[in-house]
Structure 1
Amino acid sequence: MKRSASPLQIAAILATWLLLSSSLSVLNVLIGLALALLLPPLNQRKTNRSNLIAMLRMVPTTMVQGLKEGLSLPFQGLQSRPDVQDDPWPPWAGRDPMLRFSWLVMVSFTPKTLVLKTSRESVRTHLEKLP
């Protein structure tokens, strides 16, 4: 049987979710609780430190890209065209579920990007591109 995260980890994930979403509605608390219970426990996995550092190096670049896209959205209007593509997982993600989850969260918070489907080999994303 799969072990679940400790109560302290569940509480920390739930608190982080509530802080990020800024909502204390019943539905939002249930979503945060489900997320906290479904995430793999952090203490049973040995994440390769170099892979974690490679992912953390992408955060500033992704933040700048997200800010540029977010600020340009009001000026572009709805004149973009969708592009659905399958991309392989980054090499540093390997088979570590926490690194993959972190990368998906980072991609999902980028404006004009939506993760549609994941598989063992690739990630299908929906991108809004300018004509």
Structure 2
Amino acid sequence: MIGYLNLILRLVIWFLLTANLSVANIIIGVSIALLLPHRHKAAGALKDWLRALGEVLVAIPQAYIEAFEIILRPHNEEDVTLERVKPRRTPGLIFLDIFLITFTPKTIVLKYHEDGWYEVHRVRRRKKA
């Protein structure tokens, strides 16, 4: 089951990059998704994938809310923090985590550290003293 989710993730990325749903592009996308190297181990659990997909659904309205907050109230303060990668993450789940963080307007992942950390840039409203 996890192999199918990785294949679907690769196809979605391909279609987002090409923005073309022609028959030829679908054949090319499926071919590339199958030819890309992958692990044959089932490293990720189905519940981790379902939880990540649920977080994607929650992130969409959150992104709109944050965009309106930035428009209506200026965010003048920024900082860079390190966030711990959740345990037992496959490369596909790590990609989804980075996508979720970067999808919202107030945050962006600057770097993924191989030892299990995301370097995240955030903008915030300045706290009144």
Structure 1 gaps of 5+ residues are 1-8, 21-35
Displacement of 1:95: 3.5
TM-score norm. by structure 1 comes to: 0.64
Displacement of 1:98: 0.5
Displacement of 1:17: 1.5
Any residues of structure 2 matched to 1:1-131 within 5 Å, and which? 13-19=13-19, 41=37, 44=40, 46=42, 47-77=44-74, 79-91=75-87, 94-119=88-113, 120-131=115-126
Q: Count residues in correspondence.
A: 104
Whether contact under 8 Å (2:59, 2:103) holds in the other structure is: no
Structure 2 gaps of 5+ residues are 1-8, 21-31
Whole-angstrom distance in 2 between the partners of 1:11 and 1:62: 21
Which residue identity is paired with 2:78?
A: P
Whole-angstrom distance in 2 between the partners of 1:87 and 1:99: 15
Could you report, residue by residue, the CA deviation over 1:60-84 in whole angstroms, capped at 9, with x for unpaired residues? 222221110112222123x420021
Which residue identity is paired with 2:91?
A: P
TM-score norm. by structure 2 comes to: 0.65
| 1:103–1:10 Cα change, 3 Å | closer
Displacement of 1:11: 7.1
Whole-angstrom distance in 2 between the partners of 1:110 and 1:60: 12
Whole-angstrom distance in 2 between the partners of 1:83 and 1:129: 8
Whole-angstrom distance in 2 between the partners of 1:68 and 1:96: 30
Q: Secondary structure at the match of 2:19?
A: helix
Displacement of 1:42: 5.7
| 1:85–1:11 Cα change, 3 Å | closer
Whole-angstrom distance in 2 between the partners of 1:110 and 1:126: 11
Relative contact order higher in (CA < 8 Å, ≥ 6 apart)? 2
